[in-house]
Amino acid sequence: MQETTAIGLNFIGGEWKASSGGKIYEVRNPADQRSVVGIYQSSDELDTMAAIEAAKKAFKMWASTPAPKRAEIVFEAWSILKKRAEEFSLAITTEEGKPLPDARGEVKRSLNVLEFIAGEGRRLGGDVIPSELPKTLIYTYKRPLGVVAVITPWNFPLSIPVWKIAPALVSGNTVVFKPASCTPGVAIKICKLFEEAGLPPGVLNMVTGPGGSVGRALVESADVKGVSFTGSTETGRWIYENSSKGMKKVQCEMGGKNAVVIADDADLDLAVEGVVQGAFGSSGQRCTATSRVVVDRAVKGEFLERLLDRTEKLKVGPGTEPGVDVGPLSSVNQMEKVLWYISDAISEGAKLLTGGKRVTDKGLEHGLYVEPTVFDEVSPNMRIAREEIFGPVLSVLSGEGIEELIGISNDSDYGLSGSIYTRNIEKAMRYIDQAEAGMLHVNCPTLGGEAQAPFGGIKGSGIGQREQGRKAVEFFTEEVVVYIDYTGSKRDAKFI
């Protein structure tokens, strides 16, 4: 395999710079570990502080730019991305590993977000509130926070940064962006996208490298006024706890252990398609992926028969190869983690129905492939039923009646997304009323969301204000209330 020698740089104050310590690291193609995708900066606290200082210097200018003008740059980024959609899709697949159709879907989602958020520049208003006093005007407006940190994961290296960065910019903030260590190439393309769209120097800055140095410096800096994070619950908890010490505004979208409920009257063909898509699409590396199925025992046998037949027909291979359903895991560490969970499930007594091994034949021995895996006879207390795996592994649990099925699905520390398959509207509405998740689906997979709708979860899956939709700008702004007395004379004041 031919290896690239291109070295990616940090983006600080509108300039592309090497790390102060001179350290670099390699990112290899998850579909073939013999291929080096790129070489990037392993940055430290000094680099991070330089990026924060650049963002701080640019803030006053950017905040004073009218919101519609800020939004024009975001919309120009939309225009450029639309023209270069296939280029970005291929970059995502090469670096992260997901099949090209999934990468194209990620680009489409990013375009939708940019388009919607650009419109917020003309909707970034407040309220006029009636006063109990004559000749008094009360109104509100949204003020940007200042310098904000955006810390993102590797599984959606384009869309998650975009749905954080775009509303932050439209709201008038300046940004320090810390992408996941294993997908810095897509992050660099994002910065170049906004640079080409006309974003002034220092408004968006990016530092690549380990979370232990870069992420910690962002959280602990007094100049960073808000932190928007997507990643593990463990890291999110640390960010939330430590950011609170500096009175920062914090938004964390974290893990999931999403369950699909299969009622006894479900359309099983529809349910199987939704479960397979949710469990094995993007190799299960989605926070909204289907990790558990809670099926009524009355239809369990028939459901499993159809599920296994569909799962075993999935094609595993490089994301650039036509017809591939399941690509590689994103990194060696992620593959080893998934294989460990599979081994642990077997030792705990779960019944392996299909998959369970690394793929080392069919010319895939140099990639990070794990077979689509289904376990039956999983109990709610097993680790495989409770902890986020982030791989192509599905656990099947069972119960009787809609109340028990909902109860089992709610027995989780997480609460991001959930789904039910039923033909009965009463069962569907009971599920909607009782399910402990921030996003619920009826007769469709646990995946998805739209740019104009809020995104996020409850319990261990999320804390802080929701992302996306019109809620997006709420996190990146503070509301200011203004009282104007235009009597021109002294009068008795009323105080509360």
Which residues does residue 261 pair with via DSSP β-bridges, in sequence order? 294, 420
Reduce the DSSP state of residue 138 to 3 states and report it. Answer: strand
Return the exposure string of 1-29: e unless at least 16 CB atoms fall within 10 Å of the residue's CB, then b: eeeeeeebbbbbbbeebebbeeebeebbb
Which residues does residue 142 pair with via DSSP β-bridges, in sequence order? 479
The catalytic residue among 115, 287, 436, 467 is 287
Instruction: Report in angstroms the alpha-carbon separations of 494 from 132, 255, 412, 456.
Output: 10, 48, 50, 41
Please tell me the distance from the alpha carbon of residue 64 to that of residue 185, in angstroms, as a whole number: 32
The catalytic residue among 76, 253, 388, 467 is 253
Catalytic-residue membership of 253:
yes
The single residue listed with the structure tokens 């569909």 is: 310
HSE-CB of 96 using CA atoms within 13 angstroms: 33
The single residue listed with the structure tokens 């509100």 is: 140
Reduce the DSSP state of residue 407 to 3 states and report it. Answer: helix
Please, are residues 11 and 204 in contact by the beta-carbon 8 Å criterion? yes
The single residue listed with the structure tokens 């252990």 is: 257
Which residues does residue 141 pair with via DSSP β-bridges, in sequence order? 480
CA-closest candidate to residue 256, choices 464, 405, 460, 448: 460
- Residue 237 has phi, psi (to 5 degrees) of -65, -40
Q: In sequence order, which residues have a C-beta less than 8 Å from that of residue 155 and are 6 or more positions away?
A: 96, 282, 285, 286, 287, 330, 390
HSE-CB of 249 using CA atoms within 13 angstroms: 20
Known catalytic residues?
Answer: 253, 287
